[in-house]
Amino acid sequence: MGYPNDGSDGVPARPHFPDIELEVLDHWRAGDVFAKSVRPREQATGEFVFYDGPPFANGLPHYGHLLAGYAKDVVPRYQTMRGKRVERRFGWTTHGLPAELDAERQLGITTKSDIERMGIKEFNEVCRGTVMRYTEQWRAYVNRQARWVDLDNDVRTHDITYTESVLWAFKTLWDKGLIYQGHSIAWYCAHCETPLANNESNGRMYGGDTLRDVQGTAVVVTVRLDTGELLRVAAEHPWALPGMVAVAVHPEGEYELGSGRKVTGAELAGRRFEPLFPFAEGRANKVIVQSYVDVSGDAVPVTPCFEERDHAVAEAEGLGGAYLVDATGRYTEDAPPVAGRTVLESAAIVLDLLAESGALVSSRPFTDSRPHCWRCDSTLVQQAIPSWFLRVTRIRDRMLELNKQVTWRPEHIKDGKYGKWVGGARDWNISRSRYWGAPIPVWRSDDPACPRTDVYGSLDEIERDFGVRPDDLHRPYIDELTRPNPDDPTGKSTMRRVPDVLDCWFETGAVPYASVHYPFENAEWFEANSPGQFVVEHEAQTRGWFYSMNVLSTALFDRPAFTDCTVLGVVLGNDGQSMSRAKGNYLDVNDLFDRDGADAMRWFLMSSPLLRAIEVEVTEEGSRTALRQVVLPLWNTWSFLVLYAGEEDGRTRTDPSHQLDRYLLAKTRDLIEETGRALDEFDMSRACSLLHSHLDMVTNFYIRSSRQRFAAGDREAVDTLHTALEVLCRLLAPLLPMISEKVWRGLTGGLSVHLTDWPSPEELPADPELVRVVDRVRLVLSTALSQRKSHNLRLRQPLARLLVVAADAGEMAPYAELLRDQDNVKAVEFSADIAAYGRAQLVVNARQAGPRLGARVQQVIRAAAAGDWAKDESGTVLAAGIALEPGEYEERVVADGADAVTALPDGTGLLVLDTDVTKQLADEGFARDLVRVVRQARKAAGFDVGEPASLMVELDGEHLARMRAHRDLVLAETSVERLEFGPVPDGFAGRIGDGAAVRVGLTKVGSAT
């Protein structure tokens, strides 16, 4: 019968890979192959748990998701082949501001009061409706990239089971004393009416830096001290002055008071001053000393409501807060002239007030670099927010301790970006005064005179106290659960929920347990499978999702959330800038899929430095290179095997006698071990590079050197290539899932390569000695070929002799014929006499030798360069009379300068090529050129391999005469039975030698000429 065994008609030499991929996707769907690949627990050798960073559901997928999605597919496919059960449920972040903003856009509203006017119930219904609206786009994208993940049985953060686990986490942290209420200073967007998490306002999480210049006004005002003297105060943000509680001076600063008297800051410490505004009566209103104040400048205001540092200073000095801003980012009635205005809008009024009271000394325009809201682009202010906090400061040392158990890739993230972030972590503001999110499960008495606080961590507890079991934990339903305060004998006060919802990062940080509804279900399973074994996301998540998972895991379980973390670099557009729809600097993913296929894209991304957290430009060239370097060689190997196997399939064979066959199997065995090791370490780019060089060996060495045996119908060669290719398909399966599937099924007729086991090295024979020698031969051959290139000698031009000079040259003698054929020389000879063609050079490894030799290392290096070195009887190397230790130097063989002598790139030998092209050799070269033209003509005319043909050649007289002697060579190499010379007016045109025109005509044997 013969290949292929997957039911298709044949194996095209030049297939359209995207079509093959679609066919494979259909096959998977029809055969339910993904579901079959998830091993039942009882058949698995254990579980492999990885967490999928859930994307915001109300956004469309982009390149970043594509990249992470590939990595999230490669690892589970590999672990599945390793015998592990790898469950993969798609997760969505469905709560949070992106969903609320989406709903606002749809409703045409912009503020919280709009929402409260329309009703939280209606608003949340719209949020619920928006969050899953792109699932079909995601499904198409995920499916086309061949990512196996269960989208039908997905996890959504707004599921009630998920939220119940989140409430459990909150309650557990509350019971541990890790949650408190206070004021936080946060970057706040007055338009969105919400604070932004530090990781949101701080950089690139949502693309692009958010810092931009804005125009403001800097002022100098005076305050009147209790002595009646005036102290100058410089303020860059006059809009913050209504919140001033004190002024700070430098202890060694010199301050000129209005009277002309000069005093030091230290002398001013503790002095009171008259409030700047009437509503500031009753505050501390005093001078404090702080070393952060510019020693040569004026005093500065302390505004704890608007500045993190001032907030800390005010707490330390007991100055009181003056929190004048409400939850919508507007001044409250405690600052009457500006009440109801957003903080930034108040600047003009404040300036007027200061001018009226005579406090204003001067004002000038001032350019301020401020962060902007990534959602609405409004300028952000730091302001105090009544908030709930998780005491990260209490656990951050433990987090650093636990981080020692985690392997980060690249390694520098561990103590670098991540470790530094944790080391500097502050308490985490986990509350948001918003609507669409998990509720903060805290109920409080509405009468401060009768205080009581209840915190709930399960539906059971809520049902116990409120008599109903909620089927929806969202606002407003959860807010409707109230009960009389049990501690109030009058029975008048009521327990009401605090209105805040949780930061959606708290929810996604709970992925490991909330996705399995721990501890209400799967408690045993979770305890046995936590920490998870793998996470992979972009670098921004070191401060985002990775961080929030570890904060919660440390606080709840005293362990890290995961043991291995791969950090991805940023995918850039083809101009090296961030991808931007407006700039149009990237290709549509689907266009690339349609052109080169999704496997080529996968290979390009997985083999790139993106997996080492380095930025990479995505260009058209990327997937095209992957196609050329990997997909095509794999396919060509397969189609070569099909061609030469003929009617009979190859069989699994591990005992071939030919040394090249044994080499191929032994190399494949090494590849099993090395690729497995790389993927065990989640090092996908190393796995790619190992597989790439192996494929290069198969096509450019094994097949080329074995072509004649295949052509002669050598079944051992066919069996060997079948065996090696079958194993190679399994090794490629995670990284090239569709094309390897197609080839593997064609080879075996099996259902799917993804249902097979990862190959075991024991499947193939080891032969380290053979591998070592043939690897040397390959190095010689590739060096010889580039040597030809540098002498402008085409490979079809036979040459007289290649001499291999190396200490171990004799070992390569059995491969003389191979080298002769592949380098097209008449003779290959071997010699150990390096001194005849070159010399050994000593290269000193300064980094190794430096510490031991100190200053003498320079002397040694100079001596080595000058050739002033030798070996003594014991083999010890001496340079400038100084003995070197192994590792401190390298001996390299270098050519002696003669043109035709080339050193091997590893410095272990020389090649001497006879570059003299005699007339006789040139004649044969012409004949070989003709062979090539005839082969091209056969292909163009659609002749089968080996199919006999008659050949007519038209060529100028001189070349014709020189060619005649090699008539037999042409016949043998082109399956031509009859060769004649004469005019071929419409023949196939080509060139030989230095460009002489030739035309050839082919006819089938037996047909009329």
User: Which residues are at the interface with Zn ion (CB under 5 A)?
Assistant: 189, 191-192, 373, 375-376, 378
* 881 CB neighbour count, 10 Å cutoff: 11
Looking at this protein, which amino acid is placed at residue 323?
Answer: Y
Nearer to Zn ion, 359 or 381 (CB): 381
Measured distance CA(660)–CA(663) in Å, rounded: 5
Q: What whole-number distance in Å separates Cα of residue 8 and Cα of residue 344?
A: 70
Q: Which residue is nearest to Zn ion (CB)?
A: 373
Which is nearer to Zn ion, 194 or 824 (by Cβ)? 194
- Whole-number minimum distance, CB 190 to Zn ion, in Å? 8
Residue in 1004, 1009, 1005 with CA at minimum distance from that of residue 942: 1004
> Shortest approach of Zn ion to residue 362 CB, angstroms?
33
Of 70 and 374, CB closest to Zn ion: 374
542 burial (CB, 10 Å; 0-12 / 13-18 / 19+) is buried
Which residue, 167 or 501, is less far from Zn ion as judged by CB?
501
Task: Give buried/exposed letters for 12-40 (b at 16+ CB in 10 A, else e).
Answer: eeeeebbebbbebbebbeeeebbeebbbe
Compute the least distance from the CB of residue 759 to Zn ion, in Å. Answer: 54
Smaller CB distance to Zn ion: residue 342 or 541?
342
How far apart, in whole angstroms, are the C-alpha atoms of residue 501 and residue 508?
A: 14
Beta carbons within 10 angstroms of residue 7's beta carbon:
9
Closest CA to 534 of 733, 684, 737: 684
- Which residue in the block uniquely carries the two structure tokens 């943000």? 237
Give the residue with the Cβ less far from Zn ion, 375 or 692: 375
How far are the Cα atoms of 63, 146, 283 from residue 70, in angstroms, in the given order? 11, 8, 59
Task: Provide the minimum distance between the beta carbon of 253 and Zn ion in the complex, in angstroms, as a whole number.
Answer: 39
DSSP-based three-state secondary structure for 760? coil
C-beta of 202 vs 685, nearer to Zn ion: 202
Q: Which is nearer to Zn ion, 161 or 378 (CB)?
A: 378
Minimum CB separation of residue 634 from Zn ion in Å reads 50
CB of 75 or CB of 380, closer to Zn ion: 380
Which token pair is 728?
């190679």
Four-CA torsion 392, 395, 396, 399, nearest 10 degrees = -120
Buried b (16+ CB within 10 A) or exposed e, 609-633: ebbbbeebbbbeebbebbbebbbbb
Closest approach, Cβ 210 to Zn ion, in A, equals 11
Cβ nearer to Zn ion, comparing 195 with 759: 195
Question: Per residue in 277-291, is it b (16+ CB within 10 Å) or e — as a string?
Answer: bebbeebbbbbbbbe
Smallest distance, Zn ion to C-beta of residue 421, A? 24
Nearer to Zn ion by Cβ, of 284 and 373: the residue is 373
**What does the DSSP assignment read for 863-911?**
HHHHT-EEE-TT--EEETTEE--TTSEEEEEEE-S-TTEEE-TTSSEEE
Shortest distance, position 121 Cβ to Zn ion, whole Å:
24
Residues 14, 20: Cα–Cα separation, whole Å: 11
Shortest spacing between CB 201 and Zn ion, in angstroms: 10
**Comparison of 342 and 787: residue with beta carbon closer to Zn ion:** 342
Report how far residue 165's alpha carbon sits from residue 163's, in angstroms, rounded to the nearest whole number.
5
Q: State how far the Cα of 184 lies from the Cα of 196, in Å rounded to an integer.
A: 11
Nearer to Zn ion, 180 or 206 (CB): 206
Instruction: Find the shortest distance in angstroms from Cβ 116 to Zn ion.
Output: 18
State the minimum distance, in angstroms, from the CB of residue 373 to Zn ion. Answer: 3
Say if CB 882 and CB 855 are below 8 A apart.
no
Contacting residues for 211 by C-beta, under 8 A, at least 6 apart: 369, 370, 371, 372
- Least Å distance, CB 196 to Zn ion, is 8
Q: Residue 749: what residue type?
A: G
Smallest distance, Å, CB 375 to Zn ion? 5
Phi, psi of 154 (to 5 degrees): -80, 170
Strand 799-806 with 909-913, pairing: antiparallel
Instruction: Please state the closest distance from residue 505 (CB atom) to Zn ion, in A.
Output: 17
Residue 98 or 509: the one with the smaller Cβ distance to Zn ion is 98
For 228, counting Cβ atoms within 10 Å of its Cβ (0-12 exposed, 13-18 middle, 19+ buried), the class is exposed
Q: Report how far apart, in Å, the C-alpha atoms of 376 and of each of 56, 69, 110, 579 are.
A: 17, 28, 10, 20
